[in-house]
Every structure is written in C-alpha cells, then in structure tokens.
Amino acid sequence: MSTFIQILLRSLESGSVYALAALGIIIIYRTSNITNFSQGVVGMFNTYVVTYLFMKTGAPLWLCILGGVVSAILVGLTIDFLVIRHTKKVAPVAKQIITLGLIMVVMGIAPILFGVDPLNLPRLINDGNLTLLEANISYNGLFNIVFGLVLMFVLFYVLQNTKVGLAVRTTASNEYTARLMGVPTKTVTLGAWAVAGVLGVLSGVMIAPTTSVTLNLMDVVQINALIACVLGGFQTFYGPIIGAYLIGVSRNLLIYYVSSVWGGQILYILILIFLIFRPYGLIGKKTVKKV
C-alpha cells in the first residue's frame, strides 16, 4: 500500500509537469489554431535562462525563476509579434511547421548563448521529506504538485469568471466573430503566447532538478503533453490536464506493476486503442462536418 501511494505521489508530480506543458499547448491551440510543437523547446530555453542567472549572479533561486518568467513572457511576445501574427492566411498544416521552424531557431541559439555543457539546477526546496501513510515525498515534490494545481485553478478561475477569460474563450470559439464583437483578438493571442511561455518555463524548472539542463530537457515532456492533449481532446481547456495526470499516473503504475522496460510503450499502445474508440479524446466532441 505504501509503495502504491508513493508511486501515486511521484506520478502526480510528473503529471503536474505534463499538465502545465499541455495547458500551454492547448491555450495556444485554442487561440491561434496552432499545434505548438515548440512549447517544450521554448520552455527549455527559458529554463536555461533560469539556470544561467542562478549560476552567474548567485541570486536566490526564486528570484532567478522570476527572471525566467520575465524572459518567457518576452520570448512568447516576440514569437507572436514577429511570426504568428502574420500567419492568419497560412494553411493549418503549414502553421504547425512554423513552430517546427521555431524549434530549430531556439535549438540553434541556445548553445551559442549558454554553451553546450549540461548544467545543473537545484530544487527550489532543497531538503526535507514528508511522510504520508508510510510513503515519502520531498517537500519540493509536494510543492510542485500543490503549485501546479493552484496555478491551474487560478488560470481556470480567470478563464471562467473574468472579462479577460471571456475574451479568451470567445476568441477560442470563433476568432472572426470575436473580432466583430470588439474582442481585441490580437492582444488575446499575444497574451496566450506569453502565458504559454510562462507555463513552459515553470514545467521546465520543475523537471530540471531530476535530470540535467540540456537541449533535450523537455523532449519527453513535450511528447507526453501532446499525447495528453489528444487523450483529453483538443476541444476543451481542462481535457488535456486530465489527460496529463492520467498519463503521469498510469505510466508509473504500468512501469512498476507490469514491466519496467515496456511500461511506457504499453501505455502509448493503450492510448492508441482508446483513440480508435473515442477519436476525439476523453472530453472531446465530434465536430460536425458540413459538405
């Protein structure tokens, strides 16, 4: 029982990392109609910024993370301002490939700025363990879980209950009509890229202490977040988050109880089979096609 809870807590930690990344992807998908393959890489870049600040200035980590958040906002704004804003007439498939171009740009710039050596980023809360029903979890892990949930709660509150959220939701449901109704859709999209950047850097900072900060830091996160979006469905904001936690939990359970080697693959195969029966994900609805 204690191992089960232990696995569950660990999974919630990795699940919240996936969930933050997936939320970034879905926010951009809903407002710009782009599947953002560069979410992970942009997060990686800003995690590098955090690590670099931490190593060079010796400032406390939380201050460096704030610096990373600022740089994430700037990067997000730049991407939208320079590129995405001008792609209204581009075909949907080509739009996705633009984010692939962004991956290449960031991957090329990052080693020039930060060098090629792997860097290390410590945990935000360095030591201390909480014992919960005989299961251990570090304070840092607990903080990640709670922080992820709180952040998502705040975002959903903003989305559902404020004027800004209403603007985002109208843009998401139909951009053209939203613009007719006086919603500043350009600003909404701009903001979406900034928020996605922040979510990216936060997921990066959460995952970085478990490995080292390299160019491939976010590869696994990116792929799992994309699959979480498919599992949860692209039509709602909360579907991908449910998908992300589901992937986090079931992945670790499969790895522990079924096979440490094949657990990950089995999970993907199960998701594929699930998709055949529910092609639009857990929450998704079938969009009616008109001929």
Find the shortest distance in angstroms from Cβ 243 to another protein: 11
Query: Is the sign of the CA dihedral 237, 241, 242, 243 positive or negative?
Result: positive
Cα–Cα dist 163/169, whole Å? 10
Token pair belonging to 210: 């478990």
**Token digits of residue 113:** 């700025």
Nearer to another protein, 134 or 219 (CB): 219
Q: Whole-angstrom Cα distance, residue 148 to residue 153? A: 9
Report whether 25 contacts 96 (CB < 8 A).
no
Q: Alpha-carbon distance 98 to 237, whole Å?
A: 23
Our CB check for another protein shows the closer of 117 and 127 to be 117
Residue 117 forms beta bridges with which residues? none
State in angstroms the smallest separation of the CB of 95 from another protein: 8
Query: Hey, which residues does 132 pair with through a beta bridge?
Result: 135
Nearer to another protein by Cβ, of 67 and 284: the residue is: 284
CA distance 249 to 11: 5
Structure tokens at 284: 């998704």
Minimum Å gap between C-beta 138 and another protein is 28
The footprint of another protein (CB under 8 A) covers 35, 37, 83, 86-87, 90-98, 100-109, 111-112, 219, 223, 226-227, 229-230, 234, 261-262, 264-265, 268-269, 271-272, 275-276, 279-281, 289, 291
Shortest separation between residue 43's beta carbon and another protein, angstroms: 16
Least Å distance, CB 101 to another protein, is 3
**Residue of 67, 62, 32 lying closest to 124 (CA atoms):** 62
Provide the minimum distance between the beta carbon of 274 and another protein in the complex, in angstroms, as a whole number: 10
Q: Which is nearer to another protein, 96 or 136 (CB)?
A: 96
Nearer to another protein, 25 or 202 (CB): 25
Q: Give the residue with the Cβ less far from another protein, 196 or 230.
A: 230
Residue closer to another protein, measured from CB, 33 or 136? 33
CB of 50 to another protein, least distance (A): 22
Torsions phi, psi of 286, nearest 5?
-70, 130
Q: 250 Cβ partners below 8 Å, 6+ apart?
A: 267, 270
